[in-house]
Structure 1
């Protein structure tokens, strides 16, 4: 089964073509809307939806051209149905459903978070189930016990700012522009990670929840106190990583798992990767990351997640679709649970 996938949950427009039979990602493309939103200091939902509308047709043609194939090879269409910005999701969903309807193909709305969690399965060293997942994307920070595709147990999550938000907001305080997370990490390479003694948030409390809004405030105070920006950046990054290591250690001990998956945009952070590789080596376990280009929002992960569920018989009802600005992983079912029926959607 060859699956064409569309991702439009926020400020990246992405298309991918995945061959489920061979397990090969045939082609994928991502267009970033950074230039569209930079002058506003953050994502403007209406502009995001409009840019998706402009980019999707040409990006789809380019992806198929990259694969050396045409629309006639597509067996099914997957698209991001949530969570995300409602208008952006609707644009991608309508485009995907239009392709499916015009060619008489099955289509399926995919959970964006499930896509991130499964993204490492596209790598050369895919993790075996079960594993502990650390999902650290722009708007989500969650610790999840993953027993199988669709079998997820939330262990802890951010009670305020997600890690990606904390990176971006702290970068903005330093005048690094939008998006600032990657710029903050580059600046941190020039600083002293011990220069500012930030408190590691919530590590002295039981449980696995996370909190980073207070750390963001501490960054503002450190800047006001005259600390060099590079030292603030380095100390902030070290504090975030230390906090995650403590929480992950607790989660691994609690679940008894020895495999860790780290996914989402922050999973591209090299100091975080290095620290977690060392941590899992000390525990005689393994850690798996997506390829760097598959850490941020992309359609390859949507294609894989969609394939797993389409192959088990899941389908959208035709012709309608439903998008969800909020769609917790806990609401997902195991693939195959709906075999022989269709997934109910709102026309």
Structure 2
């Protein structure tokens, strides 16, 4: 009996050592092993497909423009005319389809990381909200996974909140790709679009990535989250004009998906990136993640958990434009930063960020 107990202990120790060896080898491994479970391959292919969607849409556009048959070319030309002259949904609340947002494809997408949505309080559906998403990351993967689909259960956590994720208008200039955005309920981030949605009232809300494209230039794994928020106050004024409550949202892990080539503030590379952003409307961070069959370099994000916390809402009164002063805007801007910091400090230790901090910086283009 004694010998048997000793042998069992030795076996347990051996097993634990095997687990440690396996863990270390998985961390240092460069190429993907052949025995990866099917569900993980499926998730990787789904993320690859989603990341390539804009480029696949461009390819289809070129093919249709070069079509030999006149009726194919003519139909596509009519589609382009409709996009340019008739289409209004990007600024009129989108054309959201819940069946499309519930597709199994989006579940595979969020399971790759995985992406998880955490509710910290109830949000009554008798008013509108402006959700502020932080940080931007390279491409706001957590924002798309949580708020442009139902894969993480937003409709169950916040019933009757009709939320629209807002993105740059340039995304709606890509044929076919804009149809996918339309059915996901994604809209243009223009002031016209924001006001149209918020004026519908009763749960109709918007989600803005407050830091904008410039914040992506600071997106890299770090214990410091650099947020372009210090002089971003337009969303506060919009909230006051529409009487929309403010809701801070923070995603732990958003900045850990990609590495980025060093571009410190004041460097020549950062200056070029800011100049290009002013001219094109979007930033060009030089980033890299993992590949399809290897983990060292590629366009795909790394498998890293993204935990998104929706904070408590900040009550905002509805004021006429004449009554909105800079002092009032500054007051609610401070309240928003305090609420965001409180949300961050409350949950950071749960995600290996106990010593992490928020750094608020100015938008250098203003």
TM-score by length of 2: 0.21
TM-score by length of 1: 0.21
Greater strand content: 1
Greater helix content: 2
